Chain A
Amino acid sequence: KQEVTQIPAALSVPEGENLVLNCSFTDSAIYNLQWFRQDPGKGLTSLLLIQSSQREQTSGRLNASLDKSSGRSTLYIAASQPGDSATYLCAVITNAGNMLTFGGGTRLMVKP
């Protein structure tokens, strides 16, 4: 059974810092990995999707990397802003099925 873990569970940083959120998964036979953002009172918004054959994806100040063999992904946020404050979740699809398995999320607060 695939298990996805995110560390840390919560993170507070001053505005302007570069930061890294971590995601690990136990079954390396994944189809893809996705990073989501969740704002209070709202649903999840997909940020980046990395196919299993890819090593990284970039969107603006966000960069997600994937190391399938070690079961790890990182989400790098450059020059953090207060508007980046949210919960970030990673999720994987294993090759054996078509369902997403989510991590517990990292709650990020960026202080002005």
Chain B
Amino acid sequence: DADVTQTPRNRITKTGKRIMLECSQTKGHDRMYWYRQDPGLGLRLIYYSFDVKDINKGEISDGYSVSRQAQAKFSLSLESAIPNQTALYFCATSEPSGANVLTFGAGSRLTVL
């Protein structure tokens, strides 16, 4: 089993629909992250959480919300999806150290029509 598991792997939805992307990890890491990747733009941080009671906005949090249900689970929600949220979404985890070496999930490809 993968250390960081994302579901669904692919999703096509319509404008205005609510979408939830889920992430679970078996690494035992406290820190979890949601990134968005668009072609040529690298990865941009949406939200991050350093422990269950800690949620922080990243660079591009508008239109997104998150929930840290447990140490191992971190979900990303789009309350009302719009076409420019079409992207590849990655969940990642890390240990609380300065090196910040991340372990990534395989990604969730979201298409909003």
Q: For the complex, is A100 an interface residue (Cβ under 8 Å from B)?
A: yes
A41 touches B58 (CB 8 A): no
User: A41 near B106 (CB under 8 angstroms)?
Assistant: yes
User: Is there an interface contact between B104 and A102, defined as CB atoms closer than 8 Å?
Assistant: no
- Is A98 a contact of B104 with CB atoms below 8 Å? no
List which B89-113 residues lie within 8 A (CB) of chain A.
90, 92, 98-102, 104-107
The residue on B at minimum CB distance from A89 is B42
Looking at the assembled complex, report how far the CB atom of B36 sits from the nearest CB atom of chain A, in whole angstroms.
Answer: 11
Query: Most chain-B CB neighbours within 10 Å: which of A43, A45, A93?
Result: A43
Contact A34 B104 (CB under 8 A): no
Whether A43 and B99, one on each chain, are in contact in the complex, defined by CB atoms closer than 8 angstroms, is no
Flag whether A31 is at the interface (Cβ < 8 A). Answer: yes
- Contact B100–A100 (Cβ < 8 Å): yes
Q: Which residues of B contact A46 (CB under 8 A)?
A: 101-102
Q: For residue B99, which residues in chain A have a CB less than 8 angstroms away from its CB? A: 32, 49, 51
| Shortest Cβ distance from residue B95 to the other chain A in the assembled complex, whole angstroms | 12
B100 contacts A105, C-beta separation under 8 Å: no
> Chain B residues near A6 (CB, 8 Å)?
42
